[in-house]
Every structure is written in C-alpha cells, then in structure tokens.
Amino acid sequence: MLNPSDFIKGSIEEIKNTIGDNKAIIALSGGVDSSVSSVLTAEAIGSNLTAVFVDHGLLREGEADYVRETFQDRLNFQFLDASQEFLERLEGVEDPEEKRKIIGEVFIRVFERVAEEVGANFLVQGTIAPDWIESDGNIKSHHNVALPHGLVLELVEPIRELYKDEVRILGAELGLPDHMTQRQPYPGPGLAVRIAGIITPEKIKICRKANAIVEEEVHKEGLEKTLWQYFAVLTNTKVTGVKGDIRDYGYLVVLRMVESLDAMTADVPELPWIIIKTISQRITAEIPEVTHVALSVSDKPPSTIELA
C-alpha cells in the first residue's frame, strides 16, 4: 500500500469518479473490512452511501449496540432487525453448509429490499486481497451484481488490493478507534457456525454467553493483540457432570484460540494456562447448561479455524 493518507486521497477521488451523485449501499457487518470500506466511501460520497447493519439474531453479545454506537453519528447508518426472518428459516436445520446457504439467501433478500428503498445503483463491498486471490484469482475490480429479483448494482471494492494488516492501518488513519480496527474477524453467519446441530433460542443464549466470557478474559489479559480469533463452540454433545452432589448432564463447549496472518493457515499458540482455567471455570459457573469445557489444540491445516 502507498502511505495511508495517499491511499485515502486516491481512493476518495476514484470513488467520487465512479459513483458520482448516485446512491450506494454497503452491508456493514461491524467487521474491520466492511467498517473501513464504509467510512472510506462515506468520506467520498457522504450520505449517498447507506450503510446497512442487519441483525440476523446470531450476533455476539452487545454487537448491535457496539456497531450502532460506533457508526450512527459517522455514517448514514441503517439498523435492520431481521432476526425473526432468519431464525424462522433456520428452524430445524442441522447441516452447517445448509445454515450458511440459508443465511446467505435471507441476507440477500433483506438487503435487496433496502437497496430498492434507497434507490441504490452501486454496491460497495469490503473485499480484500485474500478473498479473491483464494477464490478465483480474478483481478477485475468493477463489475455488476444482479440480485435475485432483478436489481442490478455496480460493484465497488475500495480496499480490494489490501491485506488485513493494511486495512487496520487504514482504519486508524480514517480515525476509527483501536478497539474497532483491531477486532478479531467474525464469520458473517455469526453464531450459526458456532452452534452444532439445530439452532434454538436456548442454544443461541448459551453460545453467546460462552463467547462473551472468552472475549472478556482474552481482553483482560491483552491477548487480543496477538490472537487472530478466540471463541467458544457449543457442541451438540451432552456429557455427564456433577453439581454439588447431584449428577448433571449438560453441554460440552469447545474453546478455540488461534494465531494467524490471513486465516489460510493457523496455529494454536501456547497460552498462559491460567486463562484457559479461568475461562473454563467461568463458563461452567455462569452457564448452568454447560458441564464441560474442552480446549481445541489443532492447527490449520489439517483442521479449519471454525469447527462447522
């Protein structure tokens, strides 16, 4: 990347030339890439960019408030609670790929409605280099996207040539706070890929709480700067435990913490044992439905980062 302020200047110019006085829309997930793309694009076209944050009901604890607080004064920000629509479609679905597919479909439907309301001609996306290098090697940066009901939007990808570390630097240069630019990546389908088996309100609650505990403890130790991702997976396995002198039967939660540069490979680092113990103790103490916490020690490859 050029130096960040030159990149920003050049990028603003290019976005202005491309979008002009038209309307654009971006799906702002609250992740680093879409956040930086939103802010950069808004620097160029102001409120002609609508940044839509969709709550699919599978967000991390406090996520909706966090994203709203971070962006509502800075962007033409639209919050959309579509959780009922997502959760209804996911009812009874076990297969993780099927969950991803459904979430993708519902997302496009919801997003298309907003794009139509706004009268958007352009779709801004936070694509970064590893996204397209891995998938198709396609170096073309602008093309059209046809949404299912016929809406055709021209694609704008302002940070397409950048890598994650560069995106974080750019975010800081754009004035985003450290806690935003240094966030861990979070999969678009959210907790859906961290809950094994069918998704129920109870399982969402358990998984959300376990993840909040992991994040809290990692942040307390300042480990978020070195870890790529840190999270808890709610397995579909129930195991025997003991509470007081009574036999208990509850969920097994898997704790996963990895270091990585770009998610293509990942290592499980040696972590201070006390943090593992504390997280385990807190999860079983604060979530009565969980009887056992296990630690994942598998690198990628052969494992993937997510378990689902």
Residues engaged in binding ligand XMP (CB under 6 A): 100, 185, 187-189, 193, 229, 263, 300, 304-306
Minimum distance from residue 263 beta carbon to ligand XMP (Å): 4
Question: Burial, 167: exposed, middle or buried (Cβ in 10 Å; 0-12, 13-18, 19+)?
Answer: buried
Minimum distance from residue 189 beta carbon to ligand XMP (Å): 5
Considering the complex, state which of residue 161 and residue 306 has its C-beta at the smaller distance from ligand XMP: 306
Minimum distance from residue 11 beta carbon to ligand XMP (Å): 23
- CA dihedral 27→215→254→187, nearest 10 degrees, is 10
Does a cis peptide bond (omega within 30 degrees of 0) precede residue 177? no
Minimum distance from residue 136 beta carbon to ligand XMP (Å): 16
Q: Which amino acid, residue 114?
A: V
Considering the complex, state which of residue 185 and residue 241 has its C-beta at the smaller distance from ligand XMP: 185
What is the rounded CA–CA span in Å between residue 257 and residue 239?
A: 22
* Long-range contacts, stretch 112-118, CB < 8 angstroms, 24+ apart: 112/147, 112/148, 112/149, 112/151, 114/25, 114/50, 114/52, 114/78, 114/80, 115/25, 115/147, 115/151, 115/153, 116/151, 118/23, 118/25, 118/50
What is the rounded CA–CA span in Å between residue 25 and residue 124?
A: 6
Question: Burial, 74: exposed, middle or buried (Cβ in 10 Å; 0-12, 13-18, 19+)?
Answer: middle
Which of these, 188, 42, 181, 55, lies nearest to 122 by C-alpha position?
Answer: 42
Minimum distance from residue 285 beta carbon to ligand XMP (Å): 27
Considering the complex, state which of residue 229 and residue 291 has its C-beta at the smaller distance from ligand XMP: 229
Considering the complex, state which of residue 158 and residue 189 has its C-beta at the smaller distance from ligand XMP: 189
Considering the complex, state which of residue 198 and residue 261 has its C-beta at the smaller distance from ligand XMP: 261
Q: Per this entry, what is the length of the chain?
A: 308
What is the rounded CA–CA span in Å between residue 235 and residue 75?
A: 38
For helices 164-173 and 32-45, give the axis angle rounded to 10 degrees. Answer: 40
Question: Burial, 1: exposed, middle or buried (Cβ in 10 Å; 0-12, 13-18, 19+)?
Answer: middle
Minimum distance from residue 229 beta carbon to ligand XMP (Å): 6
Considering the complex, state which of residue 46 and residue 104 has its C-beta at the smaller distance from ligand XMP: 104
Considering the complex, state which of residue 264 and residue 285 has its C-beta at the smaller distance from ligand XMP: 264
Minimum distance from residue 257 beta carbon to ligand XMP (Å): 13
Considering the complex, state which of residue 98 and residue 178 has its C-beta at the smaller distance from ligand XMP: 98
Minimum distance from residue 60 beta carbon to ligand XMP (Å): 12
